[in-house]
Amino acid sequence: MSELKGLLRTHNCGELREDQVGQTVTLCGWVNKYRDLGALHFIDLRDKYGLTQLGFEQFEGDLTILKDCALESVIKATGVVALRPDAAKNKKMDTGLVEIQVKSLEILSRNDIDNIPFLPFGQVEATEDLRLKYRYLDLRTKKLQDILALRSRTTNTVRALLTEENFIEVETPILYKSTPEGARDYVVPSRVHAGKVYALPQSPQTLKQLLMIGSTDKYFQICRCFRDEDLRADRQPEFTQIDMEISFATQEYVKNVVEKILKNLFKLSSDFVLPMMTYDEALTRYGSDKPDLRFALEHKTVTDIFKDSDFSVFSSVAKEGGLIKAIFVPMSNGTFSRKDTDALTDVVKPHGGKGVAFFKVTEGARSGGISKFVTDEIYSELCTLEEKSGDGTWLFCASADRDTTHSCADALRRHLGKKLNLIEDGYKFLWVYDFPLLEWNADDKRYIARHHPFTMVKSEQRDAFMAADPKDPEALKDMPSEAYDVVCNGYELGGGSIRIHEPGVQKKMFEVLGMSEAEVKHQFGFFVEALNYGVPPHGGLAFGLDRIIMMLAKTESIRDVIAFPKTSSASDIMAEAPSAPGESQLRELHFNWTK
């Protein structure tokens, strides 16, 4: 406890021990449990630090007050620390050897709800919707209080580490200009400027680059970001980033800063070095740019092996320029019934797949599935790709669209990792780099930025980029960029890039993205002008703080690590937000609102 005076209590409910026997103390907290044994009465008093038992054998008041001490009421108790009788000692509790013999008791705030929605420390766990609706009750649980404390320690650690590296913390605006960065903006209508809106920043991207232009050199911020996008277990409409930007940075320097942070947060060895893998290699081996390396089952590309096979489904995919991938599951990892293999269709279907082909090998004999199409020559070639080939099951994903094959094979691998209990404990990190600069949108017949429109092309590709035809879908296909991600256990923990610092390259990027001069001036005019005043080469990375806390807390829901989260439909069911504004507010904001 702090030695600062002025609290209603002298100690918290988790700190009293045998060496304090005989002391007069005052505790405050919530009634966790009340036991009426006739002649004896006990209350277990709880706060965020723990539990202490209160006894009332020496109580100097009217014991009828205990009838008003409903569960979850807040009380203040003053008494003397005493040893529990030997038969009543509880070595499983931190305070289990002592109790407070209460002299006086005051009810500070009574729980007046007879049917409380749920008890934070009750035996029956409430549903998630109920816990979100009454989040203030859920926050009383040890799990959430521990996560809040973990989050606080983490941000303090990061601040200290970056300050040690001469970063300075700068706050950037929340009310800002709408700039396209891949997701929809949340907008805020202006009362003063009729018909105009601010946007809540998806990230401080242009702002941190302007700080580099402004000679800030090393910036960081633990900042709120807002994106109006469909949600998943690891996404929220508002989230927190550990945002960094550095002048004259190389990927190596950014990687070194990342390693320093990871070593401290995840208690890694001093000689830890972040493994590295190119985007193309990650996609080839795992079908994902954020692979989970805690288990094997790597993908094997087998397109050429089946090019001339009698299995028309595979041979046609191969001849159409598609992709066929295989995953071999040794019998030591698990076996599959026909029901199991049929169920794999449901695993790949959400990713565009039509099914999963297979055949089994038992004591060298091939059977089931597509085995009749697997000749000795094909099987021999498959075995050369897989060191553990032998008894087991070969599984295949194939599609004329290569991205679909990658996605399906990734989903299949992740499914097998969980189903077969192959995922090891611990953290497996990876630095993925050389992401594609652009993607071709066939529907709009134009390129879109893979990360954002300020990502620098690789230096050796600069001339080819500047000379490329923006309307040619092949001209910039697969061109690598100076973009990189840090990955852990199948999650992207952070992403960044070296930025464009040359006005000519930035102008060409906007041209490649199909933006007219008028659009560029409207959306980025202030930024484009700033590029003409001398810009240091710069780059950075933004960690997703919420995902880092998910990893550290070993939870799979981002809602567990945010004090007041939104649901999967981006609503706050506790505060009933979003809500309809009042008529007077709409008039002030110059809204023509139709309900």
Confirm whether residue 228 is marked as ligand binding: yes
Q: What share of the chain is helix, strand, coil (3-state, %, to 5)?
A: 30, 25, 45
Confirm whether residue 146 is marked as ligand binding: no
Q: Assess contact for 243 and 204: CB atoms under 8 A.
A: yes
Q: Residue 510 is encoded by which pair of tokens?
A: 């906007």
Confirm whether residue 499 is marked as ligand binding: yes
How far is residue 376's CA from residue 374's CA, in Å, rounded to a whole number?
Answer: 7
Cβ neighbours around 302 below 10 Å, total: 22
Question: DSSP string of 144-195?
Answer: HHHHHHHHHHHHHHHHHHHHHTT-EE----SSB----SSSBPEEEE-SSSTT
Confirm whether residue 41 is marked as ligand binding: no
How far is residue 51's CA from residue 528's CA, in Å, rounded to a whole number?
Answer: 60
DSSP state for residue 289 in the 8-state scheme: S
How far is residue 277's CA from residue 136's CA, in Å, rounded to a whole number?
Answer: 44
Please name the residue ranges forming H helices in 271-401.
Answer: 279-286, 312-319, 338-348, 376-385
Backbone angles phi, psi at 430, to 5 degrees: -155, 140
Confirm whether residue 229 is marked as ligand binding: yes
For strands 24-36 and 41-47, give the pairing: antiparallel
The H or E element containing residue 527 is helix 517-530
Confirm whether residue 546 is marked as ligand binding: yes
Residue (of 390, 399, 414) closest to 329 by Cα position: 390
Confirm whether residue 236 is marked as ligand binding: yes
Confirm whether residue 137 is marked as ligand binding: no
- Residue 475's contacts (CB-CB under 8 Å, 6 or more residues apart) are 468, 469
- Residue 323's contacts (CB-CB under 8 Å, 6 or more residues apart) are 301, 303, 317, 398, 399, 402, 405, 406
C-alpha Rg value of the chain to the nearest Å: 30
Confirm whether residue 492 is marked as ligand binding: yes
Confirm whether residue 110 is marked as ligand binding: no
- Tell me the binding residues: 181, 227-229, 236, 451, 492, 499, 544-547
- Tell me the binding residues for L-aspartate: 181, 227, 451, 499
- Tell me the binding residues for ATP: 227-229, 236, 492, 544-547
